[in-house]
Structure 1
């Protein structure tokens, strides 16, 4: 299933600061911590807590958020279905990056071990 241009536009224009509290709620509700959430976000984007807060305060869109990110080279190892889309089949880079983040947060909320979420090779 590929995304539509309308879907991609919606993802691009979403404000990160408005979605972030939902990430916090999702992981805390399942017994995970904000620190773990920030670890996952930093692994994917390179943003530490300070930079993350700056982006939240600046009220950036997902487009700007991912334009400023330094995506982890192992991000391509994130696979599976999220929000009804198979990540490997998403062609629009920004939408794929947003779904990478969604998938990592879902894995965190489901109790997956951090080394598996961060794709640590043994």
Structure 2
């Protein structure tokens, strides 16, 4: 040790330097921990959003598309009661074609929603 400073001053300086280093390291660790928690919260929010999308797609499929399919089957059975070539039967067949197109569009949209959900997993 140099003789121009008393030993207690060297010890005090060393302690202050050590405490400063511990404080800086603690702040860095705390900052990284906060960043990890923010990423975790964002990931959990994204997972909740994806689960909600999947639930909505399932609900839409179960309620709307299956209900519409049932209605179309009822229309088809009513349409078969009319003689072939009648105006009523042609009108019902036109409605059935529109319903089938709407069902196909709905199924495509649900598949797109589900595939978008699976891509982000």
TM-score range, shorter chain: under 0.3
- Higher Cα Rg, which structure: 2
**Counting helix residues as a fraction of each chain, which structure ranks higher?**
2
Instruction: Please give the TM-score of this superposition, normalised by the length of structure 2.
Output: 0.25
